[in-house]
């Protein structure tokens, strides 16, 4: 099986490439080729024994994407996007990358199939940002997509495109709406939700972190490890079981910021918690007010997707995977 990851230089793309390289297969199909593409050349997975193609290209360039799909991968992971805060701040860039890039990718697959029969599996990372307030206490699978941000709109339109191209038999697609991924490793990015990770990641290594919202803010979370599990499972799943509604809200953990902090206290102690400084930010608080707090995710769970049940586990996964099992500066 030949696999393409578009957006392979990002955090999830890197972790997915490492998991694929380690596993050497998707379900019962052997990995025979791996192409990693992003706006900057991705790094080679450390455990990859075979050949891997590392490409720097821009998904907003239709010709670049056409050449990428001409390699005819059996499985296409579409992770390429800019994050929520950046998409909101730069309207043109958000639509160029998050929407036009998606359309270029889908169209390249369609044109390749017109030349010679070709129907790959496409796994698209969407977002819970496709939903907008007001929300019920628990958001059911049939809740309508009414985004309140440009980023959410770009993802929602891409979901519709994925469903239609799948309906037309152009590819076999599945969209997975990721929870907020926490704890994100590395440095803070431009995602509006970044503080959810910042208030854990920095104190775990002895650094201060700023909390811009109230501790009673509730949100929907999963770890990077679970996100990669979602991607692997979506690639191997019999999509006939999914039916025509190809976009799924992933399982996660509903928790308040205060519950996050209490989990940090249990895992890392009071010293870590004291490194969090509360500085309210009105702009972020307004944005957070329109974010979904809890999902039912019954369809995804029935299809075998799963995530953490305790925030302590999310923190410990970060400590094990990113900090070598050690807490402190």
**Catalytic residue numbers, as ranges:** 151
The angle, 0 to 180 degrees and rounded to 10, between the axes of the packed helices 311-322 and 224-236 is 90
């Amino acid at each position: 099986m030949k696999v393409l990851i578009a957006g392979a230089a990002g955090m999830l793309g890197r972790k997915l490439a490492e998991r694929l390289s380690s596993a050497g297969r998707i379900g019962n199909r052997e990995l025979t080729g791996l192409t990693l593409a992003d706006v900057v050349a991705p790094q080679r997975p450390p455990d990859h024994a075979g050949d891997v193609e590392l490409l720097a290209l821009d998904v907003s360039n239709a010709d670049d994407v056409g050449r990428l799909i001409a390699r005819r991968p059996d499985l296409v992971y579409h992770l390429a996007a800019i994050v929520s805060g950046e998409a909101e701040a730069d309207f043109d860039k958000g639509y160029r990358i998050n929407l036009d890039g998606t359309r270029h990718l889908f169209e390249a697959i369609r044109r390749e199939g017109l030349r010679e029969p070709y129907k790959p599996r496409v796994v698209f990372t969407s977002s819970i940002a496709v939903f907008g307030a007001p929300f019920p206490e628990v958001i059911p699978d049939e809740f309508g997509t009414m985004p309140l941000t440009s980023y959410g709109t770009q993802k929602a339109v891409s979901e519709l495109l994925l469903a239609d191209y799948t309906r037309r038999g152009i590819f076999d697609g599945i969209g997975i709406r990721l929870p907020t991924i926490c704890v994100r490793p590395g440095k803070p990015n431009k995602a509006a939700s970044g503080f959810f990770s910042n208030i854990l990641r920095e104190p775990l290594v002895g650094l201060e972190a700023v909390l811009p919202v109230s501790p009673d803010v509730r949100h929907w979370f999963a770890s990077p490890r679970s996100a990669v599990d979602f991607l692997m499972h979506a690639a191997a799943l019999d999509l006939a079981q999914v039916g025509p509604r190809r976009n799924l809200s992933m399982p996660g953990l509903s928790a308040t910021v205060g519950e996050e902090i209490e989990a940090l206290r249990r895992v890392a102690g009071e010293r870590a918690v004291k490194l969090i400084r509360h500085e309210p930010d009105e702009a972020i608080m307004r944005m957070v007010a329109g974010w979904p707090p809890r999902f039912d995710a019954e369809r995804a769970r029935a299809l075998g997707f799963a995530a953490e049940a305790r925030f302590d586990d999310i923190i410990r996964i970060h400590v094990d995977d990113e900090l070598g099992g050690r807490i402190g500066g």
